[in-house]
């Protein structure tokens, strides 16, 4: 498992010809915060800005030093992927508040925690407003998420479930 920020700034290299295609500027996440869906590699153009990305299924390996992709033709514009409009960039997720259904402020998102295949297993907190297991761990498991916060900008978690899951992980 690794943090999303560990991928930012990594070189993107084509497996077929070893060519450097660019560097990771940001990450795309699906709207339900389950999967890493793509890699943002920047924008180009002065008058007509084009957002360039690499879809997750074009990535072969998220390596320690670089990200390897299938070939040099994997870079596309976001307009070529209709569902990309619903994707969320990691930079926009950072700072999103986290609370309980009762309205208790829990913290603010600092990063995502990624599994081996690009699925989101949890969230690292930048700020923590509560005491207990969440403050000790500084993170939240993805399974405890009730609401992603896409509508109101605040994620909602099941606090007893977080404590249960973190208790099981500590055992």
The CATH number for 127's domain is 2.30.30.240
117: confidence class by pLDDT, cuts 50, 70, 90: confident
Domain boundary among 25, 58, 91: 91
Domain boundary among 74, 91, 108: 91
pTM given for the model: 0.87
Domain boundary among 91, 109, 128: 91
What is the β-pairing status of strands 105-114 and 50-55? Answer: unpaired
Same domain for 44 and 103, yes or no, is no
Distance CA 169, CA 171 (A): 5
Q: Which residue range forms the structural domain that includes residue 128? A: 94-170
Q: What is the mean pLDDT of residues 3-26?
A: 94
Q: What is the pLDDT of residue 39?
A: 93
Token code pair at residue 144: 């405890």
Count of domains in the chain? 2
Same domain for 68 and 123, yes or no, is no
């Amino acid at each position: 498992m690794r943090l999303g920020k560990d991928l930012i700034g990594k070189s993107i290299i084509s497996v077929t010809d070893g060519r450097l295609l660019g560097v990771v500027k940001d990450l795309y996440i699906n709207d339900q915060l389950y999967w890493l869906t793509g890699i943002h590699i920047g924008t180009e153009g002065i008058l007509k800005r084009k957002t360039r990305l690499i879809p997750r299924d074009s990535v072969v390996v998220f390596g320690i030093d670089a990200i390897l992709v299938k070939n040099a033709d994997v870079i596309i514009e976001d307009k070529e992927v209709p569902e990309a409009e619903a994707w969320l960039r990691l930079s926009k997720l950072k700072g999103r508040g986290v609370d309980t259904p009762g309205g208790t402020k829990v913290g603010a998102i600092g990063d995502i925690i990624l599994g081996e295949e690009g699925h989101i297993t949890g969230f690292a907190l930048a700020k923590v407003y509560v005491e207990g297991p969440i403050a000790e761990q500084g993170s939240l498991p993805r399974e405890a998420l009730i609401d992603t916060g896409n509508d109101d900008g605040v994620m909602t978690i099941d606090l007893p479930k977080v404590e249960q899951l973190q208790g099981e992980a500590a055992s």
